[in-house]
Amino acid sequence: MPELPEVETVCRSLLQTVLDQYIRTVTVTRSRLLPNNTIEEFSEALCGHCFSAVHRRGKYILLDLDHDMTLVVHLRMTGKLLYQLSDSPLDKHSHIVFELDGGHRLCYNDVRQFGTLQLLPTALWTQLPGIAALGPEPLEDDFTAEWLMQQMVGKKQKVKAFLLDQHNIAGIGNIYADEILFQAHIHPEEPVCNLTDTETVQDLWFAIRDRLEQGIRYGGSSIKDYVDSLGQAGSFQKQHRAYGRGGQPCTECGCTMLKMISGGRSSCYCPNCQPRRDSSVLP
Ligand SMILES: [Zn+2]
């Protein structure tokens, strides 16, 4: 599933492509992708309008239109927004097609069809249930180590699950959670309340920002089929030190990386670099 760096990369590629482009026609062949609108009202509300801004909140892509409406897209597992020439072959998984006035089209392509596109007044998108409950953006200035410490004190949730919980921090998924914990030398199953010394919180805060920023810098991680709206794959998967590396040697100590289920997800970690804390000596 695309996480914050992949969604941010898609947004940046959309800024280069669809901004200020008018929508001529909209074709929808899977109504399940539109949980809040009928195909007719979705198409009618968009035709003749242009994309005026592109932004992101957590893993949501927000496409503002020139009539105070916003298209809220969540790619879920396999969703893609692809900007293509209108006369190029249409993939069978491109279930929503926006024909634009400049000879291009924007396709919503989704093999597994778990993604959603919701059209609503711009003033209301922050109230969508999935968005209203999101924690802070980890790359914004208000996400500080002090704030993180306050969220962690007294919390028994395991740290991997804590990072994956979108109510705590927006945008982190399984790939970046593994990478963050490896960098911060924290075991995925460690209860958050065992990690609240200043140095550990600072290390975790830094690792969150650093891994996500590096993910964006490399255009995201293309594990299966993730590409941006220009069809470009990311390359951060080549920098992965933990995710998907169970059974392989640790890049820091050479020890064999282990794999376990943590936070309901497959997790890879180094037993030597990411040891469990001894709870008997914790304050
Ligand atoms: Zn190691």
Q: Are residues 117 and 162 in the same domain?
A: no
- 3 catalytic? Reply is yes
Å from CA of 249 to ligand 1 middle: 8
In a domain, 44, yes or no: yes
Domain identity same for 154 and 124: no
Told to judge if 265 belongs to the known catalytic residues of this protein, a careful annotator would answer yes
**Number of domains forming the structure of the chain:** 2
Residue numbers in the chain where pLDDT is lower than 70:
279-283
Domain assignment present for 140: no
Do the beta carbons of residue 275 and residue 187 sit within 8 Å? yes
Distance from Cα 178 to the centre of ligand 1, integer Å: 13
The reply to whether 127 and 205 lie within a common domain is no
C-alpha distance across the termini of the chain, in Å: 38
Distance 281 CA to ligand 1 centre (A): 23
- On the CB side of 255, CA atoms within 13 Å amount to 14
User: 252 CA to middle of ligand 1, Å?
Assistant: 5
Place of tokens 């909209």: 26
* Residue of 57, 59, 158, 241 marked catalytic: 59
Round to whole Å and give the CA distance between 283 and 281: 6
With CA atoms as reference, report the closest residue to 212 among 223, 201, 220: 220
* Residue 76 domain flag: yes
Q: What is the pTM of this model?
A: 0.95
Distance 194 CA to ligand 1 centre (A): 21
CA 282 to chain centre: 34
Q: Is 198 helix (H, G, I), strand (E, B) or coil?
A: helix
For residue 166, what are the contacts with CB-CB under 8 A and spacing of at least 6? Answer: 58, 59, 133, 134, 135
Tell me the per-residue pLDDT of 94-121, one tens digit each, with 9 for 90 and over: 999 999 998 999 999 999 999 999 999 9
Q: Is residue 117 part of a domain?
A: yes
Q: What is the pLDDT of residue 224?
A: 77
pLDDT at 1: 84
Distance CA 141, CA 152 (A): 19
Identify the domain boundary among 101, 132, 163: 132
161 & 75 share domain: no
- Tell me, yes or no, whether 195 and 92 share the same domain: no
Q: Identify the CATH number of the domain in which residue 157 sits.
A: 1.10.8.50
Say yes or no: 128 and 42 in one domain: yes
Residue 72: inside a domain? yes
| Domain containing residue 63: CATH number | 3.20.190.10
**Do 277 and 169 fall within a single domain?**
yes
87 and 151 belong to one structural domain:
no
Amino acid (one-letter) located at 177: A
Tell how strand 51-57 and strand 60-65 pair up. antiparallel
Q: How far is the CA of 124 from the centre of ligand 1 (A)?
A: 47
- Of 106, 132, 158, the residue at which a domain comes to its end is 132
* Within-domain flag for 269: yes
Q: How far is the CA of 181 from the centre of ligand 1 (A)?
A: 12
Helix (H, G, I), strand (E, B) or coil at 45: helix
Verify that 28 and 151 share a domain, yes or no: no
Cβ neighbours of residue 77 under 8 Å, at least 6 residues apart?
1, 112, 114, 115
- The single residue of 30, 155, 209, 265 carrying the catalytic annotation is 265
Whether residue 138 lies inside any domain: the answer is no
Residue 240 identity (one-letter amino acid): H
Asked whether the beta carbons of 223 and 237 are under 8 A apart, the reply is yes
The parent domain of residue 227 ranges over 145-281
Number of helices followed by number of strands (H, E) in the chain: 7, 10
The reply to whether 155 and 127 lie within a common domain is: no
Of the three residues 99, 132, 165, the one that is the final residue of a domain is 132
Whether residue 100 sits in one domain with residue 197: no
What is the per-residue pLDDT for 279? 60
Looking at the structure, do residues 108 and 155 belong to the same domain, yes or no? no
Q: Output the CA 229–ligand 1 centroid distance in Å.
A: 36
Contact 80, 17 (CB under 8 A): no
